[in-house]
Amino acid sequence: MSIQKYLQLSPSVREALAAQQPVVALESTIIAHGMPYPQNLETALRMENAVRESGAIPATIAILGGKIRVGLDAADLEYLAKTGHQIPKASRRDLPFLLSQGANGATTVASTMIGADLAGIQIFATGGIGGVHRGAAQSMDISADLQELARTSVAVVCAGAKSILDIGLTLEYLETQGVPVLGYQTNEFPAFYTRNSGFGVDYRVDTPEILAEMLEAKWVTGLQGGVVIANPIPEQVAADGLAIEHATTLALQEADEQGIRGKAITPFLLARIAALTGGKSLGANIELALNNARLAAQLAVCYSRRVQGH
């Protein structure tokens, strides 16, 4: 029995890792469940290009044919983008069944962290992390992403957490689990489509170099687990906070009326908010994802220099 049965790196990712070159992991739930076709495919390709332009190798991760595939080609991305919701959304709990049965799955933040860690990738860019949902006191809906951040040593560059979540409770949960929350060039934890949430971060960090220093200090001292690097959406492309809040309230109400829960709720809310804002939220989502890919690549470049010892 060996991990090779379940893990497959693309040639470019394998070569880059062997040479200690910077590599950035990217997730696939954002492609299959987070955005409509064709914007999802365009965004996946643009994120990979943004990583390359900033000096790192992209490694989009998905479960395909019972393997955790690290580094996808254009045909794989197109398949994920076109098949969309037909591909199971795969978090930690889904991996054993999907892998053993030769199935496909779109990896969430949690399962992308697992794949990245198995491959030896420490830096990961996404849109937003899952969190504690509004009304969690009743529903107990807390994303497995938070527990994964507590245990798996991968740094996640994101634009904060969406206001479909309870941001205050999400930050409390991360504090309990010992997950550092850093604000990139901000003192405030961003709210995904917008720059401000009203909640602070643990530390403000202004350069990728300081982020890399912090990751080294964390992992060299045996403090396992992830880090949330919260990178606010650029001002020029941020959505209108009131319009988002209004759409979110309506979408949450619809989800409640239709009895949507469990892993279906995040994709449902994303799609409804996009429809209710006339696509404005989708435009912001694409821009923040690209912005995160660029920062993650800059960080991966700094971190790999430290690993190489110069």
The answer to whether residue 127 forms part of the interface with ligand PSU (CB under 6 A) is yes
The answer to whether residues 26 and 61 touch, using CB atoms and an 8 Å cutoff, is yes
Residue 4, exposed/middle/buried by CB under 10 A (0-12, 13-18, 19+)?
exposed
Q: How far is the CB of 253 from ligand PSU (least distance, A)?
A: 18
Site size toward ligand PSU (CB under 6 A) is: 17
Interface residue with ligand PSU among 39, 108, 152, 231 (CB under 6 A) is 108
Q: Of 23, 70, 109, 247, which one interacts with ligand PSU (CB under 6 A)?
A: 109
Q: Tokens in use for 46? A: 């643009």
Out of 60, 104, 143, 298, name the contact with ligand PSU by CB under 6 A: 143
Q: Annotated catalytic, 78?
A: no
Catalytic residue among 48, 67, 89, 162: 162
163 binds ligand PSU per the rule CB under 6 A = no
183 belongs to the binding site for ligand PSU (CB under 6 A): no
Letters for 36-75 (x = contact with Mn ion by CB under 5 A, - = none) are ----------------------------------------
Site for ligand PSU in 267-286 (CB under 6 A): 270
Eight-class DSSP state of 10: -
User: In the complex with Mn ion, which residue's Cβ is closer, 27 or 141?
Assistant: 141
Residue nearest ligand PSU, CB atom distance = 34
Total residues in contact with Mn ion, by rule CB under 5 A: 1
27 is catalytic: yes
What are the respective helix, strand and coil percentages of the chain, to the nearest 5?
50, 15, 30
Supply φ then ψ for residue 132, to 5 degrees: -80, 120
x/- map, 140-179, Mn ion, by CB under 5 A: -x--------------------------------------
* Among Mn ion, ligand PSU, none, residue 243 binds (CB under 5-8 Å by kind): none
Q: Which letter does DSSP use for residue 3 in this model?
A: G
Angle, helix 39-53 to helix 74-83, in steps of 10 degrees: 150
Integer Cα distance of 273 and 275 in angstroms: 5
Q: Quick check: helix, strand or coil at residue 24?
A: strand
End-to-end Cα separation, the chain, in angstroms: 38
Pick 94 or 141: Cβ nearer Mn ion = 141
Kindly tell me the burial class for residue 305, based on how many C-beta atoms sit within 10 Å of its own C-beta (0-12, 13-18, 19 or more). middle
- Side chain identity, residue 82: K
| Residue 57 touches which of ligand PSU, Mn ion, none (Cβ within 5-8 Å per kind) | none
Please, where are the H alpha helices in the chain? 11-18, 29-32, 39-53, 74-83, 95-100, 109-119, 136-139, 144-151, 167-176, 208-220, 241-257, 265-276, 280-308
CB-wise, 29 or 153, nearer to ligand PSU? Answer: 29
Q: Which is nearer to ligand PSU, 145 or 166 (CB)?
A: 145
Binding residues (CB under 5 A) for Mn ion: these are: 141
Which residues are catalytic, by number?
Answer: 27, 162
Contact positions vs ligand PSU (CB under 6 A): 27, 29-30, 33-34, 108-109, 127-128, 130, 143-145, 162, 263, 266, 270
